[in-house]
Amino acid sequence: MKICIIGAGSPYTPEILEQLAVMRDSLPIKEISLMDIDESRLDIMFGFCTRYATELGFDVTITKTTDRKTAIDGACFVNTQIRVGGNAARAQDERISLSMGLVGQETTGAGGFAKALRTIPAMLDIANDVAEISPDAWIINYTNPTGLVVEAVEKYSKAKIAGLCAGGLFAQDWTARATGCKPNDVRYDFAGLNHMNFSYNITIKGRPLTDTEFKAVAKEVGAVDTSLILKLGVLPSPYLYHYYHESKSIDSVKEKTRGEAVIELEKDLYKEFADPDLCTKPKSLTKRGGGGYSAVATSVMSAIYNNLDTWAVINTANRGALQFLPDNAVVEVPCIVNASGITPIVQSPPPEAVRGLICAVKNYESLTVEAAVTGSHDTALLALLAHPLVRDYETIKELFEKLLKANREYLTAFFKD
């Protein structure tokens, strides 16, 4: 069994390796192919992962390549975690957004729009290679914005893809911490999009939460005001902070954006990874954030490989799971996964107070996917117009020109004439 990791120079790669070692009995992997276009980062991560596998007692062959087709050939699963333009492009998106008085965040609003336009063409190239070289393989995607990436791949390629995010398990963890129960005892409805979702109808071993328990769980969310959560009656994704506390979101990163902070952090992080004596994950890796994907990813891979009916929150085509959205729109909902693929579970409707926001952002997402594929300036402007955090037409015209100019080398579809 072979898997490959595209974007393997990422600091998230060791977490995947570690979880694969934990799952070695159910996922009998013989080869892990590391692929990246950044040869320096690839060499560093290959060296570290080789040492780390030995430390874990994980008997697996680790290879490296800058050739994508070589990595994909023969793979059962293709893990994708790319960042087109690197963190420099991310920081640039954030600064352009903030200069226009808009939220500067890499998956939300104007920043997420720019990242989607850069990322979707690259992910479609990968998907087309997978469909041609290893047509039975599944793409296990962590590349953001994952909902838009999955919608593009499902609509414009023949590849099989599962879009993953650790956020689908947050409600389990929040409830377990607040009540002392086990995470696996917690069940809930979950509706929305990636980084735009809500958990509700929460139960512990089939018993609904009491009002006191729900208040305690609401406090665990942290990012969104607890009194607002109690009014909504649902647990929002922490990313709803950018919608419900827009002014605070903008003010909090004016001095230093998250992208700028990550650039500084990774300078030291890669020095640690390059140390030939380092055999375990550096402590500073916890500051990088965004972890937790690997447990979800290996669970999904095991479900497919071993034909085990498994519950997982996945970004996939709606197919009736959320009845207020189109069937071909990609949503983030609980699914049953096995060797036959991904089957979304129909969810009870979320409260009306949040339904409209989900619809508006889904509209933006579908328009953005179309714009990224076609290079249509008009569709791109309509996408920004549809986004609740952008909207103003005069602002949109100036913003789009700035984003186009800054990302010209990655947005060839928009300059084809």
Q: Which residue has the tokens 């050739």?
A: 67
Task: Report the SS3 class of residue 91.
Answer: helix
Backbone phi, psi, residue 337, to 5°: -115, 135
Indicate if the alpha-carbon torsion angle 219, 265, 292, 127 is positive or negative: positive
DSSP 307: T
All residues at 6 or more sequence positions from 277 whose CB lies less than 8 Å from its CB, including other chains? none
Q: Which of 52, 142, 188, 239 is catalytic?
A: 239
Phi, psi of 314 (to 5 degrees): -140, 150
User: What are the strands, taking DSSP E only, across 261-307?
Assistant: none
Q: Which two three-digit tokens encode residue 55?
A: 């430390």
344 SS3 class: strand
Q: Which two tokens stand for residue 363?
A: 């509209």
DSSP secondary structure code for residue 59 in this structure = -
What is the Cα–Cα distance from 16 to 297, expressed in whole angstroms? 8
Q: 227 to each of 215, 230, 288, how far by Cα in Å?
A: 9, 5, 30
- Give the Cα separation of 318 and 118 in Å (integer): 25
Distance CA 126, CA 4 (A): 12
Q: How far apart are CA 33 and CA 64, in angstroms?
A: 6
Query: Residue 387's CB: how many other CB atoms inside 10 A?
Result: 23
Separation CA 240–CA 417 (nearest Å): 38
Type of residue numbered 76: C
Alpha carbon distance 295, 199 (integer Å): 20
Whether 239 is catalytic is: yes
First vs last C-alpha separation in the chain: 45
C-alpha dist (Å) from residue 107 to 51, 132, 212: 33, 30, 33
Tell me the catalytic residues: 239
